[in-house]
Structure 1
Amino acid sequence: MTTEDEQVDEPIDILLVEPNPGDSRLFEEKFTDAKLLNTIHTVSDGQSALDFVRQRNEYTDEPRPDIILLEPQLPGKSGIDVLSELKNEPTLDGIPVVVLTSSDAGEKIVQSHGLEADTYIQKPVEPEDFVEFVQSIEDFWFAIVQKPA
């Protein structure tokens, strides 16, 4: 039995789907700086994201992610398509998906396709805002983990 003061010590596997290498690097650095127990896996397009989650092709040895951070604007298969496939596949729809938006409009665009992510978080514009962003991801994760079954 765990108390409220205890945090979950299991490392979490985060899949970051982000086409911008600069943003990917910032995400990775800030998660490391925050000393969260996690492993960040990064892919830059929708097809790679689906391959990673399904553990196929070059990703057969990768763990299934505990949480997915998804940029909707991706080259090739869009983030909307990725979200749709994840939510329509029973073995994958339990993985929480955080859609990274650049504005409130991003959330409305996703919803206009009849899809719902688990949450939407506005992507930071300034590097110093990434610390707060990482904290919001951590808060979301702990809210999920501590939710009663």
Structure 2
Amino acid sequence: MINLTNVALHDVLLVEDSLADVVLMQEAVQESMPHTRLSVAGHGVDALRFLRREASFEDAPRPDLILLDLNMPLKGGLEVLSDLRDDPELRSIPVLVLSTSDRREDVERAYDLGANTYLVKPRDLPGFFALMQQMNDYWFRSARLPQGNKW
């Protein structure tokens, strides 16, 4: 029997403007990463407000991991990534770019700005499930995250 009181809860912020992709991610996280609380910001401006606990996000949890789409209204993912890496309070949070773009320029720019990894979005639910399981295994079981990641 698993004692759930000893299982760590992980916070993930999904920055995504596509409602269809948000729903896919929610299902995939629920299935593949059951000890994960997924928060969603629909564009880059809200993502930064969430991370800085501004406006209606005063009680937002500090994420252990950020899943960042590139192509969004108001403030794109590359701009958000640049802002995160320039902010001493936020720069240690791992950022996984999750985009439909497989363009070399986007991949290189994301890494130049400090992305921890770049992933192309799967096209179906089984692909999202597999990706979430791989993320869970790597980021929450194998990798060591910065100790100061919780407020």
TM-score by length of 1: 0.85
* C-alpha separation in 2, matches of 1:91 and 1:146: 15
Q: 1:93 aligns with which of 88, 91, 94?
A: 91
Report the secondary structure of 2:143's partner residue: helix
Contact map agreement 1:45 1:74 (CA 8 A) in 2: yes
Partner of 1:144: 143
- Displacement after TM superposition at 1:90 (Å): 1.1
Between the aligned partners of 1:144 and 1:44, the Cα distance in structure 2 is 27
Query: Residue 99 of structure 2 contacts residue 121 of structure 2 at CA under 8 Å; is this kept in 1?
Result: yes
1:24 equivalent in structure 2: 22
SS in 2 for 1:139: helix
Q: Distance in 1 between matches of 2:78 and 2:101?
A: 16
List per-residue Cα deviations over 1:23-55 (Å, max 9, x = no partner): 101111111112431100011100000000111
Say whether the 8 Å CA contact 2:28–2:125 is kept in structure 1: no
Which structure 2 residues correspond to residues 1-149 of structure 1 after superposition, within 5 A?
9-105=7-103, 108-112=105-109, 114-141=112-139, 142-145=141-144
Distance, in Å, in 2 between the alignment partners of 1:67 and 1:129 is 20
Counterpart-to-counterpart distance in 2, 1:67 and 1:74: 19
C-alpha separation in 2, matches of 1:146 and 1:118 = 12
Matched residue type, 1:22: A
Unpaired runs of 5+ residues, structure 2, are 1-5, 147-151
Q: Distance in 2 between matches of 1:136 and 1:104?
A: 19
Give the SS at the match of 1:86. Answer: helix
Percent identical pairs in the alignment equals 35
Distance across 2 between alignment mates of 1:78 and 1:14: 19
> Residues 121, 136 of structure 1: CA spacing in aligned structure 2 closer, same or farther, 3 A cutoff?
farther
Give unpaired runs (5+ residues) of structure 1. Answer: 1-7
Between structures 1 and 2, the one with greater helix share: 2
Normalising by the residue count of structure 2, what TM-score does the alignment of the two structures yield? Answer: 0.84
Give me the whole-angstrom Cα distance separating, in 1, the residues matched to 2:9 and 2:74.
31
Q: Equivalent residue for 1:3?
A: none
Counterparts in 2 of 1:65 and 1:146: CA distance versus 1, 3 Å = closer
Q: Which runs of 4+ in 1 moved over 3 A?
A: none
